[in-house]
């Protein structure tokens, strides 16, 4: 019985030693992988900044500074229909006079 316990204890010690060596080998390979990933992140950040510097600002559709003549007392075109929804006015603009429309 004592021999069986001694063999089991020795087996556990050997198994623990093998696991410790395997964990040590994995930890030495991680920094190289980490360095590779950090280098990739730095390259991607440089690429993003280069692309953002080439980006041209486009027109904003909902720009507050755009002139809206119907808000300042100017007449709206006759073919626009003024409607109201929840107290907010909106205009229905017909497309039959649109030069880009295909018949």
Tokens 């006759």: give the residue: 78
Highest mean pLDDT among 11-15, 21-25, 33-37: 33-37
Q: Please, which contacts does 57-62 make with residues 24 or more away whose CB atoms are closer than 8 Å?
A: none
Label residue 43 by pLDDT band (50, 70, 90): very high
Label residue 21 by pLDDT band (50, 70, 90): confident
| 77 vs 70: CA distance, rounded Å | 9
DSSP 34-80: HHHHHHHHHHHHHHHHHHHHHPPPPPPTT-TTS--GGGTTPPPPTT-
Identify the CA nearest to 93 among candidates 72, 78, 75.
Answer: 78
**How much is the pTM?**
0.31
């Amino acid at each position: 019985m004592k021999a069986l316990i001694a063999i089991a204890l020795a087996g556990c010690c050997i198994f623990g030693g093998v696991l410790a060596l395997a964990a040590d080998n994995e930890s030495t390979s991680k920094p190289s992988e980490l360095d590779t990933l950090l280098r990739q992140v730095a390259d991607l950040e440089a690429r993003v900044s280069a692309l953002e510097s080439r980006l041209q600002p486009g027109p904003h559709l909902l720009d507050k500074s755009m002139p809206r003549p119907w808000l300042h007392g100017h007449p709206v075109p006759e073919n626009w229909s003024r409607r109201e929804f929840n107290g907010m006015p909106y205009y229905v603009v017909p497309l039959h006079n649109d030069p880009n429309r295909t018949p």
